[in-house]
Each structure stands twice: as C-alpha cells, then as structure tokens.
C-alpha cells in the first residue's frame, strides 16, 4: 500500500498530554499503520492509549473519527486516503456535578 498523508487532530486530555493538537502523518493507509506512525512521533505511550493490542483494534472507549465519521459506524476494511482527517478523542469521564446533588 502506498504511503498517504493524513491530518491527525488530538482533543481534550490527549492534546494536553502529548502537547500537540494537530499532526500531519505519513502512514501506510491502515489504521494500525497510522497509530504506529503517530507513536513514532509522540512515543509508545500513545500506542498504548489508543490501540487495544489483544483485540487488534482501536480501543472501544475512544472516539476515533475519519472525516467526521466514527470508525465504529464504518463497515469493512477501513483504509485511509491522502488528505483524510482523523480526530481522536480520549475516554470521556462523567458523573454528577456537586451542583446537581
């Protein structure tokens, strides 16, 4: 598969943790290849934060969107193309605000 250039947007705690909100990444066009390429820039911890190695897929508790569509809603073999935009949102914490009690 030829290399593609993808824009990766990091949000919320990922943005703060990795000190970046946007990266342009060259990868092989696969989701795992993209995650590996981002990890080469940001460090191995990014891989562990985003990819579930045991299941061989992006962690379920993330929002991982390609061109605005959550990959959980996409069917089949998901490939990336030049110019795609990938947005990665960390797990969202919830709970009751002390003001609602």
d(CA 62, CA 72): 10
The strands making up 63-66's β-sheet, listed across from edge to edge, are 22-27, 4-10, 85-89, 63-66, 69-70
The per-residue pLDDT for 3 is 92
Q: pTM value?
A: 0.85
Each residue of 60-75: pLDDT tens digit? 999 999 999 999 888 7
pLDDT, the chain, mean: 89
- Asked if pLDDT for residue 88 goes beyond 90, the answer is yes
CATH class of 4-93: alpha beta
pLDDT higher than threshold 70 for residue 1: no
Quick one: pLDDT band at residue 91, thresholds 50, 70, 90?
Answer: confident
| Residue 74 or residue 38, greater confidence | 38
pLDDT given at position 96: 45
CA atoms within 13 A on the CB side of 70: 8
Q: What is the CA radius of gyration of the chain?
A: 14
Q: Is the pLDDT of residue 82 over 50?
A: yes
């Amino acid at each position: 598969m030829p290399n593609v250039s993808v824009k990766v947007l990091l949000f919320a705690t990922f943005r703060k943790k990795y000190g970046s909100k946007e990266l342009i990444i060259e990868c092989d066009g696969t989701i795992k290849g993209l995650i590996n390429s981002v990890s080469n820039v940001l460090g191995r911890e990014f891989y562990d934060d985003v990819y579930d190695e045991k299941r061989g897929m992006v962690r379920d508790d993330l929002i991982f969107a390609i061109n605005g569509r959550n990959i959980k809603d996409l069917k089949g073999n998901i490939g990336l193309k030049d110019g795609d935009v990938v947005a990665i949102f960390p797990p969202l914490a919830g709970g009751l605000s002390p003001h609602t009690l």
